[in-house]
Structure 1
């Protein structure tokens, strides 16, 4: 007695690997989208939303782009705190 249709379920090891990849991707995607929204970076938000790179692009954004923005802001704040220089009012960019 033969069956006319094949079993389309992947083996248990492959199912576990798929579940792990989905969980890994969702974790990176969630954190990177949250950070891009927090940074008010619309181009990065859209890029991260529509791409699926198993967390690679998300990690690049979190540790490369967003991290450098945060470090720059922290270092400026620490310099202002140490020097006691008041915030420049009326100037949005330095010359």
Structure 2
């Protein structure tokens, strides 16, 4: 088993090799098919835990901004900037297209 750290990602590699004989069919008869497998386990538990902790500590909704917008709507002072809305929609479309 070899353990290597690559960019703060711990990689555990465990490998079992099949016995090699003169004839490939002979070697498969000699080995135990239930245990003759290669496996690779990649553990990023620390990275996942950090991401989960960060997302749990971040507020889901910016309550003060929501209250500010509600007050402006009720007062009749909320202005919609169609250019800004279109720009944000295009940014979202670009991010979605680049994420696939």
What TM-score, normalized to structure 1? 0.29
- Identify the structure with bigger relative contact order (alpha carbons < 8 Å, sequence gap 6+): 1
What TM-score, normalized to structure 2? 0.28
Q: Which has the larger radius of gyration?
A: 2
Choose between structure 1 and 2: higher helix proportion. 1
Choose between structure 1 and 2: higher strand proportion. 2
